[in-house]
Structure 1
């Protein structure tokens, strides 16, 4: 993981399939920028109802089942920006309506670490999360949001607590 804030202009060198496929999509879109309003929106840690097999749903399941959440040697874990899916949709709607052009990082402005994420989930579930600290170095995947801040009202972002509450409520509703 990166150590500082990631700007839209930072070199992109994906090491996994998902990142490589996102970069391929950007590469395909760029030639059209001379003809159309092309917006490349880079999403950071989207989460919400119905999502599976990503970080936030994994932490939800770990806390729910009493399985340890793995943290780096600092005891806090990865620093990240979980972004509620409704907020991503609102940014996309704004970008389309205003004909944004260029590359934009899309993320919640609230930076949390993995321990804090698990504790918010635990509070919403009424469970105490378990942690396992390993010897890895903690990283950070935190975007620079200045371009977004100039175009989108950050007060519209859902708090992590509210987003987790809504995600869990949707899970409960779908299970009944």
Structure 2
């Protein structure tokens, strides 16, 4: 099977490339916006550099691809409104160009990495049937891309994955690594009502195995929509307590009167349809992440 993977330089993309490269029946073509460090290149994997914000990027793509895994997203997703154009170009426009290319090249499967941020915020585990009402531009751009992708089920299998709270060793500038860094530096951490954000953390190894499973498994439908989320619902206060128990270092929390926030996914549909069982508990995942930080 020939696979085109966009966003190969990102956290999920780089980990997925390593895993898929172990399967010698797969030929992997990795596309990223910036050059992959030669030290991180994997034998047998072909790398392409192209700016997905450019309309002509499909011209550089290889032929005879069977499956597209579209993980790429704008690295400027937090910079709204000043980088709204780049967010739209990479998250929405490039998706449309890639879909056009996929039809012309007769691919068989198109996997799109979306986000839990497409949903309306609610104090419960969000299922695939819940209302989508993204609050921010990033979530709106991902939801717009989802709407563009769905009609293409008449040409190839479509899989949209709404991913919640991925974390793990080597991740940077996201919720859990930021919390770990503050803990490591003995910073006071402000949390709304001593809780902060409620989330369902998904360890990177589980996320990669889920992606691999849906890539290699037969599908029941032409259009498929799944949440990818961890099994445990937790707020940041509880997360810090687990981290403190692992490190033996107490974290000082400053209580604020703000309302806690919620972004929790119900991932049971994916696990049921693919008979998938998570392999990494939250404590085990945090321990592995903290151990990596200690060895840096």
TM over 0.5: yes
Q: Distance in 1 between matches of 2:218 and 2:228?
A: 16
Tell me, yes or no, if structure 1 residue 23 matches structure 2 residue 143: yes
Normalising by the residue count of structure 1, what TM-score does the alignment of the two structures yield? 0.87
Select 1:49's aligned residue among 166, 169, 181: 169
1:84 aligns with 2:203: yes
Which of 152-161 and 129-138 deviates more?
152-161
Q: Could you say what secondary structure the match of 1:96 adopts?
A: helix
Cα deviation 1:76-104 (Å, max 9, x = unaligned): 33221111011001111111122444110
Q: Give runs of aligned pairs for residues 24-173 of structure 1, distance below 5 A.
A: 24-73=144-193, 75-100=194-219, 101-153=223-275, 155-173=277-295
CA contact (8 A) 1:44 1:81 kept: yes
Q: Runs of 5+ in structure 2 lacking a partner? A: 1-120
Shift of 1:153: 4.5
Q: Name the count of aligned residue pairs.
A: 173
CA separation in 2, counterparts of 1:141 and 1:87?
19
Q: C-alpha offsets along residues 24-75 of structure 1, whole Å, 9 cap, x if unaligned?
A: 33233212222212111111000112211110011101111111222222x2
**In the aligned structure 1, how far is the partner of 2:248 from the partner of 2:145?**
41
- Report if aligned partners of 1:77, 1:114 keep a CA contact under 8 Å in 2: yes
- The secondary structure found in structure 2 opposite 1:38 is strand
> Does the residue aligned with 1:2 lie in a helix, a strand or coil?
coil
Shift, 1:154, TM fit: 5.4
Q: CA deviation at 1:106?
A: 0.4
Give the alignment's Cα RMSD to 1 decimal: 1.9
The answer for unaligned runs of 5 or more in structure 1 is none
Instruction: Specify which structure has the bigger relative contact order, considering alpha-carbon pairs within 8 angstroms and separated by 6 or more residues.
Output: 1
- Structure holding more strand per residue: 2
Report the secondary structure of 1:150's partner residue: helix
Asked whether the equivalents of residues 64 and 125 of structure 1 are also in contact (C-alpha less than 8 Å), the reply is no
- Assess if the C-alpha contact under 8 Å between 1:48 and 1:85 holds in 2: yes
User: 1:172 and 1:17 mapped to 2: Cα distance?
Assistant: 36
**1:128 Cα shift?**
0.6
Segment of structure 1 superposing worse, 54-63 or 122-131: 122-131
Q: Deviations over 1:4-28 (max 9, x none)?
A: 2212122222222432332233233
The one-character-per-residue Cα deviations of 1:91-138 (angstroms, maximum 9, x if unpaired) are 111111224441101011111111111111222222111101111112
